[in-house]
Structure 1
């Protein structure tokens, strides 16, 4: 007898007829806004980062919370530290775990202060310490600088989370490029030559509309033919890739250290942590979520998949109450996953 399939996705979520009028209106408003604003590669990463910090881009600007604190984590490089942002539960109870968060932004934009509100909500709801990583950004610091910073913070947390936060590292996750980097972190730990890290087991990964193949999945090109620019388009994605991987070759794009979709996951059977994969149907990276979640499942990893009809790339960054955004559904999927695996 075949084992039961733990994953079930209702195919109706992919039907355009399932997109609500509110979501269609939200998408239309994003398209109008995207058409009026400069692309990041037109004005340069530094200027676009300034605009995003001021709320002058398609995605909402950050709200910095006084409850957050800054922490410097040692880097593998002498005399350099990695800036991190810490949000702790405000209810006074001891923390149950640490969630290492890695922000998105195409490996070029945003920073560790971009998700204060969401992370404080997670901290308070689930009793976890959230630590967001301020990894180095391209084009100033191309691959492998950003991944190396994330690896260094993960290793530091494996060794120090209990003494610093009185709770162990349990979850790693992020959105878009942050989901890509989170996956690389998990694989880095599992394949580490040092048993302190290779034998460490995460409780879960939270992978929100991640990019898992930098050679681009088929859906990227089909979306480019039919969907106007929203938060992402093919030109934006190509510019991100060129900044992160200058002078790339096809062999580079298919290297599992760059594109985890190509990783030998089967060799890690029995070791992969459970993973939540979330994406909207109006996202250039939908195929990435579908492909990577199936490979994770085939290699024996526990998988939860949440597909949100009508949601565009970046939808988790909007306020939970934003009508038509899909944010509430995405946040609820995160809450359910954290609750299940804590």
Structure 2
């Protein structure tokens, strides 16, 4: 049992770059629509089209393969020439935004450099499809992979992970596999990047305030209302909604990452402590100066964390 806390930005120039980017992001906040539970159709469409928070959609790569598995769940697959394992990726976006094709460049690069087939789940989004639709689709994709990885990719070496809402859905998927299907040990690693694990709100979420970074207290409340309409804070503490309150026994070694300027910082710290308490290995990375979603942007800390992600997945 180990828990390692890493601070990625010990270099003063690197930290200065990160903080300067945060300031630029805040200054541009007036041009970005706010996320709330009452988004109109046009605003929702804009947020979904510009999936990385910019002005244009990310590029779709021709290397991607589209697959449809049980119940019509889509997978966007990047398969390198030599496959040593499979990484099931679950994208972020507050359960209401993002898509499986939103990070083609990064996922194809990850596949090539790790010799992993990378499969991104195209799960249904709120508010059209609120909880439990998204978790159901991720569970379906994971079950398919457990049953078909060897015949499809020649390996049973499986990993799972994602960013933000995708990290949350990754943990729920592991818990559902264990509790609903008796499947433990199929996935040998969980890569969990700045996820929300307590939808009733940890202290860092509640106290973060209105600072206009990629996420803040108001944005989180809006996301939770979109994802779990009709549930109050107490109901969102259900372990099937908020994995911080679940029994994490039997889950694989995990890499858990968050930045110091992220309202979800406590979520990662608390989840790492709970993960450690079960006896499973945990590597907790706390990145100085980093805001929520920092790995989506061209920063020095982004490349450092991507390298640590690759090292973690190849070593699993």
TM-score by length of 1: 0.85
Question: Match for residue 293 of structure 1?
Answer: 272
Equivalent of residue 336 in structure 1, options 302, 311, 315: 311
Question: Per chain length, whose mean CA-contact separation is higher, i.e. which structure has more relative contact order (CA < 8 Å, sep 6+)?
Answer: 2
| 1:87-166 equivalent positions in 2, closer than 5 A | 87-89=78-80, 92-93=81-82, 95-166=83-154
Q: Are the counterparts in 2 of residues 209 and 280 from structure 1 also a CA contact under 8 Å? A: yes
CA deviation map 1:92-111 (0-9, x unaligned): 22x11111100001110011
Q: Are the counterparts in 1 of residues 88 and 121 from structure 2 also a CA contact under 8 Å? A: yes
Question: Match for residue 227 of structure 2?
Answer: 244
Q: Distance in 1 between matches of 2:152 and 2:312?
A: 25
| 1:129-208 equivalent positions in 2, closer than 5 A | 129-168=117-156, 170-192=158-180, 194-195=181-182, 198-208=183-193
Q: Distance in 1 between matches of 2:18 and 2:262?
A: 13
Question: Match for residue 73 of structure 2?
Answer: 82
Query: Are the structure 2 counterparts of residues 18 and 279 from structure 1 closer, same or farther at C-alpha, using a change threshold of 3 Å?
Result: farther
Structure 2 alignment gaps of length 5 or more: none
Equivalent of residue 216 in structure 1, options 175, 182, 201: 201
Q: Distance in 2 between matches of 1:139 and 1:59?
A: 23
Deviating above 4 A after TM superposition, structure 1's stretches of 4 or more consecutive aligned residues are: 12-15
| 1:21-100 equivalent positions in 2, closer than 5 A | 21-41=16-36, 43-44=39-40, 47-54=43-50, 57-58=53-54, 61-75=57-71, 81-89=72-80, 92-93=81-82, 95-100=83-88
Query: Are the structure 2 counterparts of residues 246 and 323 from structure 1 closer, same or farther at C-alpha, using a change threshold of 3 Å?
Result: closer
Bigger Rg, structure 1 or 2: 1
Question: Match for residue 78 of structure 1?
Answer: none
Query: Are the structure 2 counterparts of residues 285 and 86 from structure 1 closer, same or farther at C-alpha, using a change threshold of 3 Å?
Result: same
Corresponding residue SS for 2:288: strand
Please tell me the root mean square deviation across aligned C-alpha atoms, in Å: 2.3
Q: Are the counterparts in 2 of residues 275 and 302 from structure 1 also a CA contact under 8 Å? A: yes
Corresponding residue SS for 2:162: strand
Corresponding residue SS for 2:285: strand
TM-score by length of 2: 0.92
Corresponding residue SS for 2:145: helix
The offset of 1:304, in angstroms, is: 0.9
Aligned residues: 314
Q: Distance in 2 between matches of 1:104 and 1:237?
A: 13
Question: Match for residue 251 of structure 2?
Answer: 272
Equivalent of residue 232 in structure 1, options 201, 215, 223: 215
Q: Distance in 1 between matches of 2:169 and 2:46?
A: 23
